Structure 1
């Protein structure tokens, strides 16, 4: 089904930066989760949180059945990948599609997945059919920016050093950690938490060596509704 054909009820699932940096022209934002996937910092970012010469790292979704065949230093993952679903205002679906094609261009492709609203969400905000069919951007293992499993400390070192047009790579990791903590008591992600803790240790060690100040928290972001396209960000990269 094309985005245009489903424009009356176009829902987008975000599991990475889209959680705290929403798309333009949405009128509903619902926390919840998808199943059958694992979230990992296994996607290189040459266009937002790094450069072609020194790519950063951002999250992608891995099909759980594929992930279970791999050797991952983080050998457990929650059954639910938490994030948010956005309903896009019908008359702006085409515009948002163009925006997302730019934002998610670096190795991400379009997929669809059922989204389950969090318990306690006001039923009046939900469509008549639940779970919700949502569009999601995923960097699959076949794309050339997929890096696969990495040693966590080496991965954090890459994030620590990386910076791109959208800002420092550490801001992305800390932003995701905070955004997940704010969604639900159940929305934590051990992979994200472990990387964040390792990164805080690196930042603390750098500060103790007097190598210059480094922020360990993302800037505050404010959600907006029905706005204009005013920026680009790394993929979600549904996410």
Structure 2
């Protein structure tokens, strides 16, 4: 058995599991948004951070990376870890992609949409065991640029966070 896992957030720069192959790629019909709350890595239950999830969006493309995992033990490890181009032809199909549910009954950490300024303020001030929420945003921005992807939502949010941080330093 072979499992392909698509990463569109922190998995782009930090897989956290063993894999056989890593390919840059995209999925169609989704966009990356900072709507998922993080109370265990980039925030706390009292002050959740924000991380990305996917939202259906026809005619949009979300760039990221796909990991091929073929060893049974590595597949089990990858799934456990996750539970916590120009071509229009898919290079790989049947890829596992995690999308946060917007249903608050099944996903208590779903924060949903907010104005850019509100997202940025929350990201500036949230910090959890994995570090400041802003580091997650800045690492994602850097990883996407390295893939050749200019994600407007991520770049606009990073710019707003930098603006807030520069005002706080003064």
TM normalised by structure 1 equals 0.65
Q: CA deviation at 1:119?
A: 4.8
Distance in 1, matches of 2:36 and 2:144, equals 19
Mapping of 1:23-42 within 5 angstroms?
23-42=16-35
Larger-Rg structure? 1
Who is 1:151 aligned against?
Answer: 115
Q: Residues 62 and 140 of structure 1 are in contact (CA less than 8 Å); yes or no, is this contact kept in structure 2?
A: no
Who is 1:47 aligned against?
Answer: 40
Mapping of 1:208-227 within 5 angstroms?
208=170
What is the CA deviation profile of residues 44-82 of structure 1, one whole-angstrom value per residue up to 9, with x for unaligned ones? Answer: 1111100001101001101126xxxxxxxxxxxx72100
Distance in 1, matches of 2:101 and 2:48, equals 17
Who is 1:166 aligned against?
Answer: 130
What is the CA deviation profile of residues 207-239 of structure 1, one whole-angstrom value per residue up to 9, with x for unaligned ones? Answer: 22xxxxxxxxxxxxxxxxxxxxxxxxxxxxxxx
Q: CA deviation at 1:100?
A: 2.0
Q: How many residues align?
A: 164
Who is 1:207 aligned against?
Answer: 169
Matched, 1:101 2:99: no
Distance in 2, matches of 1:85 and 1:45, equals 23
Larger RCO (CA under 8 A, 6+ residues apart): 1
Who is 2:51 aligned against?
Answer: 58
Who is 2:65 aligned against?
Answer: 84
Matched, 1:9 2:31: no
Q: What 5-or-longer segments of structure 1 have no aligned partner?
A: 1-7, 66-77, 103-117, 121-128, 209-239
| Structural RMSD (CA) | 1.7
